[in-house]
Amino acid sequence: MNLKRRDFIKQFSCACCAPFFLTSCTEVAITNRKQLSFVSEESINKQAKQAYNSIKKTENIIRSGNQVEMLNEVGKKVTTSVENYFKEMGQFETLKNYEWEYVLIDEPDTLNAWCMPGGKIAFYTGILDITENEDGMASVMGHEIAHAVAKHSLERASQSLALKVGTTILDIALEGALSSSSADDYLVSLGLTLPFNRLQESEADYLGLAFMTMADYDNSESYKIWERMQKAQKNNPPEFMSTHPSPKNRIQKLKNWIPEVNARFG
C-alpha cells in the first residue's frame, strides 16, 4: 500500500470507533481531561488487590524500621489530604472503594515505585536514594497515587480493548494486510501507545504535584528528585521512544506548574 495507507487507517478507525468512544468517555478529576473508560473499575481493583497480595508473599518486604515508618506516615498524610480535598469538592465517589496500603520492597538496584488501581502502593528501596527525604518521598507518593486517582490503568485497559476491536475491523477492510505487517505494529506503538503513556505520566506529574502540595510538603522536591534521577540514569532512551517524558522535560514542566499549583492548592 502507498503512503496514503496511514491516512486511510486513521480516518477509517475514527469513523468506526467515534460513536463508541463518545458513549464511553469520562473526565479525569482536577485536570478534566476526557478519557476512554468502559472497563469495570470493580473488576480491575479486585485483580489489582489479588496481584498485590501475591507480591507481598513473594517479594522481600521490609516490615519495620525508620524507612517503613516514613513510608506509612507520608502515604497516610498524602492520601488523607487527597480524600479531604475530594470530600470538600463533593467528589468523594472518585475514591470509592479505595483501600490505601503501602509496602517497601528490599531491592536496592530498583529505582521505582508504583500504585495499583484501588490504592495499593509499593516503593523499592533503590528509589529512596533518589527521594532522599520526606518531601522527595511525598513527591513520588503523590505521582503514584495520581495514577490511581486518575484511573490510568482503567483507561489503558479500555484503550487496549478499543484498539483490538478497531484493528480487527480494519484488518477485515484491508483483507488481512494489517495483521501481516509488523511495520504497522511499530507505527501503532510509536504513534499512539507511547505518546498516550507519556500523556498519562505528565498528568500524574501535575496531579502528584497538587497532591503533595495539599499535604503541605515542599513541592520544589518534585523537580529536584528528577535532577537526581537524571544523574542516576545515564543512558535514558530518546523521549519519542519512551513511555515516560525525559527528565529534562519533566523538570521544566514541574517548575512551570509550581506557581499555579501553589495558588490553586496551597
> Is residue 101 annotated as a catalytic residue, yes or no?
no
Q: Catalytic: which of 101, 144, 155, 201?
A: 144
Q: What is the SS3 assignment for the chain? A: CCCHHHHHHHHHHHHHHHHHHHCCEEECCCCCCEEECCCCHHHHHHHHHHHHHHHHHHCCEECCCHHHHHHHHHHHHHHHHHHHHHHHCCCHHHHCCCCCEEEEECCCCCCCEEEECCCEEEEEHHHHHHHCCHHHHHHHHHHHHHHHHCCHHHHHHHHHHHHHHHHHHHHHHCCCCCCCCHHHHHHHHHHHHHHHHHHHHHHHHHHHHHHHHHCCCCCCHHHHHHHHHHHHCCCCCCHHHCCCCCHHHHHHHHHHHHHHHHHHHC
**Catalytic residue ranges:** 144
